Amino acid sequence: MPERIIKAFKNAEIEKISHLDYFNIAVSVDCVILGYEDKQLKVLLIKSDLEEFSGLNSLLGDLVRPDEDLDEASYRILRERTGLNDVYLEQVQTFGRLDRHPSGRVVTTAYFSLLDLHHHQLRLSHNDLHWHPVHKIGKLAFDHKDILDSCLHRLRQQVLERPLIFSLLPEKFSLRQLQEVYESILGTELDRRNFRKKVSLKDWLVDLGEMETDVPHRPGKLYKLNPTLKKRLRARLRVS
Amino acid sequence: MPERIIKAFKNAEIEKISHLDYFNIAVSVDCVILGYEDKQLKVLLIKSDLEEFSGLNSLLGDLVRPDEDLDEASYRILRERTGLNDVYLEQVQTFGRLDRHPSGRVVTTAYFSLLDLHHHQLRLSHNDLHWHPVHKIGKLAFDHKDILDSCLHRLRQQVLERPLIFSLLPEKFSLRQLQEVYESILGTELDRRNFRKKVSLKDWLVDLGEMETDVPHRPGKLYKLNPTLKKRLRARLRVS
DNA sequence: TACAAATATGTACTTGAAACACATTAACCG
DNA sequence: CGGTTAATGTGTTTCAAGTACATATTTGTA
């Protein structure tokens, strides 16, 4: 099989390189899994078990299996690590630096996903899995800090245009909660009145006619995401 | 070496799959090389030499070599195919469908680049290389139509925000030429007066104090890209 | 029951985009 | 050579969106 592929890419210089070398590249995916808690955006990390990176955390990744799509692989990792199925997932960028993995050549494709950190189905697969506030993260194993940063950059670009952010919140939420999520992602303070005007113009929200409970102040109205949009979010990630 | 990598990704299910299978995935890059001519955006394509796709064109791609970065690989393809060095290049997306290549599993990363189709250094490497108007393209080999579309989508997103478009034009150009390029990319007509106002606010342009020649009407002023921005464009793609 | 703190809604101002008009210049042609 | 044509080059007006800002209302708490 490998020979067939190399033949398909017939290239003048091909004889200079051993055929097998072309298949010394491994393909992996890495997931930047983001949640929201205590007014902070958090990312799910695991302690690296490579001695080269002892003491450092890394993103959740795995080799892509011979029989699975890239999207499927990232979806599988998410499922294995969190137990969650209906999660927003988006490919961001592929990283292929020669020395990015100490054990050999690994090209990795980064995905980010957003989920409700307090979802009742959330079951972390491993004791060494923990949520870390993204703005407190220093070094990570491999080039994972770069990967994280590129995903956060993409998230910030998209978050005002598309209704992604609701995956971070529980089913019902108040406008204050929603605003706080935006503020933690964008790293800026927003004017409450203008914010409310902006989201109300977008027809993203449905007023539930209910109020917050157990808050130490005047309760606000509760909203949920417009069901049509919710379906559309799910549709994007139907993989397996 | 492969064994070391697989060990590094220790996974519960790893034993189910033959170790070597993980390295049956080839990694390639495909370049969507865009130029501008006759008021049309054009893409450089080559006749596919696979019998499965006989009669169809394909993008320019190649396997990533064991000793080169993804960016380097796309840069090399560009150089080999066009003879050009200083070209804008941007990674867009990675495609990994299982059946996307008839000869086996190939994961490919798509790049797009913009260049001046009439550049004096441009030397196409091959007789079967031709420029095709993007809006007239039907089928392509592999999933290359999807790749082309995703690159065009990205280009349309970026073109109003960042000064990419100038790579498509010669050193000196008139505002009319610039507007025509925008219109062909965005697929819309723009108001001349509003367009001029918009670009003049962006400090992208330098007035050369020269005029068009050999035009069958009143000549317009000639401009060039602000040299600072030009340097910055080049800096993004310094690879080898 | 007064106060603190958050919700809820509205208005004036500023900026940017969209629609539109007119004077100017050079090529072309009778 | 002068009138016509077809571009260039610079406005202005209008409208929508964004930003800054104020006040009344509701609930929890001391």
Q: Residue A239: what pLDDT?
A: 43
Residue pair A190/A182 in contact by the 8 Å Cβ criterion = yes
Q: How far is CA B75 from CA A18, A202, B63, in A?
A: 22, 42, 13
- Reported in sequence order, the residue ranges of chain B that DSSP labels E, i.e. its strands, are 26-37, 40-47, 57-58, 60-63, 88-95, 106-114, 129-133, 173-174, 205-211, 221-225
Count the residues in chain B.
240
Per the model's pLDDT, the better-predicted residue between B15 and A27 turns out to be: A27
Q: What pLDDT was estimated at residue B59?
A: 98
Distance B203 CA to D4 C1' (A): 37
- Which residue in the set A2, A25, A94 is minimally distant from B66, CB to CB? A25
The torsion angle over the Cα atoms of residues B52, B56, B60 and B61, rounded to 10 degrees, is -20
- A116 Rama sector, left if φ>0, alpha if ψ -120 to 50, beta otherwise: beta
pLDDT at A240: 37
Q: Is the CB of A217 under 7 A from strand C?
A: yes
Distance of CA B138 to the CA centre of its chain: 18
Alpha carbon distances (Å) from B4 to A26, A42, A104, B9, B10: 11, 31, 7, 9, 10
Residue pair A236/A88 in contact (Cβ under 8 Å)? The answer is yes
Fold match flag (A2-159 vs A171-235): no
What sections of A28-174 are H helices per DSSP?
A: 70-82, 144-159
Shortest CB distance from A27 goes to which of B8, B62, B107? B107
Q: CA dist A75 to A86, A189, B45, B99, Å?
A: 10, 33, 34, 19
User: pLDDT tens digits for B128-185?
Assistant: 999 999 999 999 999 999 999 999 999 999 999 999 999 999 999 999 999 999 999 9
- Give the whole-number percent of chain A exceeding pLDDT 90: 80
**Chain B residues with CB-CB distance to A24 below 8 A:** 1-2, 23, 66
Say yes or no for a CB contact (<8 Å) between A28 and B9: yes
Contact B134, B34 (CB under 8 A): yes
Number of CB pairs, chain A paired with chain B, less than 8 A apart: 134
CB A42 within 8 A of CB A117: yes
Cα–Cα distance measured from residue A102 to residue A41, given in angstroms and rounded to the nearest whole number: 30
Shortest Cα–Cα distance, A167 to chain B (Å): 23
A238: pLDDT confidence band, cut at 50, 70 and 90? Answer: very low
Query: B220: closest CA among B178, B176, B182, B170?
Result: B176
Positive or negative torsion for Cα B18, B19, B22, B24? negative
Q: Which fold has domain B171-235?
A: Arc Repressor Mutant, subunit A (1.10.10)
> A95 to chain B: which residues are within 8 Å by CB?
70
The Cα B149–Cα B26 span in angstroms is 23
Residue B128, SS3 per DSSP: coil
Residue among B66, B1, B80 nearest B28 (CA): B66
Distance from CA of A160 to the nearest CA of B (A): 15
- For chain B, the structural domain boundaries read 2-159, 171-235
Selection from B63, B61, B57 nearest residue B42 by Cα: B57
Angle among Cα B81, B102, A1 to the nearest 5 degrees reads 100
pLDDT value of residue A12: 45
Whole-angstrom Cα distance, residue B239 to residue B205?
27
Torsion, CA A91, CA A92, CA A96, CA A101, rounded to 10:
-80
What is the structure's pLDDT at B239?
A: 43
Determine which of A47, A71, A103, A157 to mutate to test the interface with B (most B C-beta atoms within 10 Å).
A103
User: Does at least one atom of strand C sit less than 7 Å from the CB of B214?
Assistant: no
Categorise residue A75: left if φ over 0, alpha if ψ from -120 to 50, beta otherwise: alpha
Summarised one tens digit per residue, pLDDT across range A176-187 is 999 999 999 999
Show Cβ contacts of residue B93 under 8 Å, excluding neighbours closer than 6 positions. Answer: A91, B109, B110, B147, B150, B154
d(CA A174, CA A185): 17
Mean pLDDT, rounded, for A89-97 = 97
Closest residue by Cα to the C1' atom of nucleotide C10? A193
Task: List chain D nucleotides near protein: any atom < 7 Å from a Cβ.
Answer: 6-12, 18-22, 25-29
Q: Confidence class of residue A5 from pLDDT cuts 50, 70 and 90?
A: confident
pLDDT tops 60 at residue A74: yes
CA distance B14 to chain A (A): 10
Whole-number pLDDT of residue B22:
72
Answer for B18: CB within 7 Å of strand D.
no
The three-point CA angle B28-B31-B34 to 5° equals 175
Q: Nucleotide C17: nearest residue by CA–C1'?
A: B194
Q: What is the pLDDT along chain B (240 residues), one digit of tens a residue?
A: 678 888 888 764 555 666 667 778 999 999 999 999 999 999 999 999 899 999 999 999 999 999 999 999 999 999 999 999 889 999 999 999 999 999 999 999 999 999 999 999 999 998 999 999 999 999 999 999 999 999 999 999 999 999 999 999 999 999 999 999 999 999 999 999 999 999 999 989 999 999 999 888 899 999 999 999 999 887 665 443
pLDDT of amino acid B78: 96
Evaluate whether B44 touches A76 at the Cβ level (below 8 Å).
no
Q: Which CATH number fits domain B2-159: 3.30.70.141, 3.30.930.10, 1.10.645.10, 3.90.79.10?
A: 3.90.79.10
Q: What pLDDT was estimated at residue A22?
A: 72
Burial of A116 (0-12, 13-18, 19+ CB in 10 A): buried
Residue A7's pLDDT is 83
How far apart CA A166 and CA A144 sit, in angstroms, is 25
CA A110 to chain CA centroid, Å, is 8
Looking at per-residue confidence, does A22 or B209 come out higher?
Answer: B209
Single-letter amino acid, residue B71 = D
| Residue B127 token pair | 């007789």
